[in-house]
Amino acid sequence: ETGVTQTPRHLVMGMTNKKSLKCEQHLGHNAMYWYKQSAKKPLELMFVYNFKEQTENNSVPSRFSPECPNSSHLFLHLHTLQPEDSALYLCASSQDLGLETQYFGPGTRLLVL
């Protein structure tokens, strides 16, 4: 049990659909992250939130829209995605920003048709 949960675990969507990924951390951490994991590529950091404020947007296309209503919850809203967006989306949290250990959720496996 890592203390970070993600739902759904699997998602199939068409290019015109709108869906949301949810992440919840039960560790009392202040920082949360979204990563994209594609085959044979390094993990790509997408967004960083610290105390509910976005501190990093790593040139992510606007079809990905994050939301952090509080320090325990993080959402990734998806709309008009492309097939190349198919990947494993990982959420992580850490006590604070900086050189802190990050704790990862199990990920959402997304397939865009």
Residues in the site for other proteins, rule: CB under 8 A? Answer: 2, 4, 6, 40-43, 45, 48, 55-56, 90, 92, 97-107
Closer CB to other proteins, 75 or 103, in the complex: 103
> With respect to other proteins, which residue has the nearer C-beta, 83 or 98?
98
Report the C-alpha gap between 34 and 77 in whole angstroms: 12
For other proteins, the closer CB: 80 or 102: 102
Closest separation in Å from C-beta 15 to other proteins = 26
Using alpha carbons, list the distances in angstroms from residue 3 to 25, 42, 86: 6, 24, 25
- Please give the Cα distance from 90 to 97 (Å, whole number): 17
